Amino acid sequence: MQKIYLDNNATTPVRPEVMDAMLPFFREDFGNPSSVHWAGSNVRKAVNKAREQVAALVNCSPSEVVFTSGGSESINTAIKGIATAQHEDGNHCISTMVEHPAVFNSVRHLEKQGFKATFLGVDGDGMLDLDQLEAAVTDKTILVSAMYANNETGVIFPIREIGEIAKIKGIRFVCDTVQAVGKIPLDFKNLAVDTITISGHKLHGPKGIGALIIKSGLRIPPLIHGGPQEKNRRAGTENVPGMVGLGKACEIARNDLEREVTRIRPLRDDLEKGILTAIPEVKINGHREKRLPNTLNISFKGVYMEQLLAEFDRSGLAVSAGSACSAESREVSRVLTAMSLDSATARSTIRFSLGRENTRNDIDYVLTLLPPLIERLRCERRLHSGQTDI
């Protein structure tokens, strides 16, 4: 059976070059980078190199890179740490209804600690209203957290403009950039943001490693207490193979970024055009222009996503209904609900997210498989509901 993976917003396969870079640090270069003897010194050099590779991808200083276990830890550290540090100045946080669960639930956690929170809505294209954001700021607002690119729809927020509003108002801006890094250019130094986030497994690195980029001069209390690692910003013995792997993945992403965007966008666009041409009653979700080049979120009227995903899986095609972090939940997507999709439409929605392994043949396979499959599932549903006009 042919197997095609189109769920790259959930996770990506580790690049062979990344694996090769990591392997020595499981074997001969096994030392603790905090050790002062020979077994630690070479390892420390590898960690420093990885920090430089990460910094180069997002244009920040290596000293601004804090290695973490992944995007969720980075987000929790930034939101909870800044809120704690700024509590004397206020108790109000602003975020959006379409954030990743790590952001949404971190802000919800702050509410339980006595903070106030405003969650802004989006329009039907998944876009944020900047006037609404500005109006939500009060004299007690200390933090705004908004994502760069949505993991379900691929919609890209106006981060530069959000950052300027936060800067003028004197509030901190936490930006979840996990889905954006490695897919579109990102320049930390030229964005008015205080923190951004990276997750290794989203850009062909290993799972269990990530980074929090903290603007120079900003002091954030650590989420994990213990030793002095990461300049007292994140305790715990360093995950050296993970750090080296993340560094290598960032180096590859930086070198290949422009070429990959140019290659992947036409594949996504052809997939979208092919579906719209061959299948009636479908809906593209998210802004058609302001979105990641690899992401297509689409609803098929009259088809349950659970049925479609099961049929895809039997055909060797891996896609998803949205966020992998919410895959086990039976609730309708919070992102799609915020975009005013009704429950039936939201439950008929799947996400295609392309990656560097995908080819034109993959798109052709999907466009061959999908139209008759959708028609069959719609017919079965009409028959089951007692309709006979088919």
* Active site residue ranges: 325
The total of other beta-carbon atoms located within 10 Å of residue 161's CB is 14
The total of other beta-carbon atoms located within 10 Å of residue 311's CB is 17
Here the tokens at position 108 are 């919800």
Each residue of 185-198: b (16+ CB within 10 Å) or e? Answer: ebebeebbbbbbbb
Nearest to 169 by CA among 111, 92, 106, 100: 92
Secondary structure (DSSP) of 15-76: PHHHHHHHGGGGTTS---TT--SHHHHHHHHHHHHHHHHHHHHHT--GGGEEEESSHHHHHH
Alpha helices in the chain (DSSP H): 16-22, 38-58, 71-85, 101-112, 130-136, 159-169, 229-232, 240-278, 305-314, 334-338, 343-346, 360-384
The total of other beta-carbon atoms located within 10 Å of residue 382's CB is 14
Assess contact for 50 and 246: CB atoms under 8 A: yes
Torsion sign across C-alpha atoms 289, 294, 302, 124: negative
The total of other beta-carbon atoms located within 10 Å of residue 271's CB is 22
Burial classification of residue 365, based on how many CB atoms lie within 10 Å of its CB (0-12 exposed, 13-18 middle, 19 or more buried): middle
First to last CA, the chain: 32
Each residue of 329-350: b (16+ CB within 10 Å) or e? Answer: eeebbbbbbbbebeeebbbbbb
CA distances (Å), origin 287, targets 132, 134, 162, 269:
19, 22, 18, 13
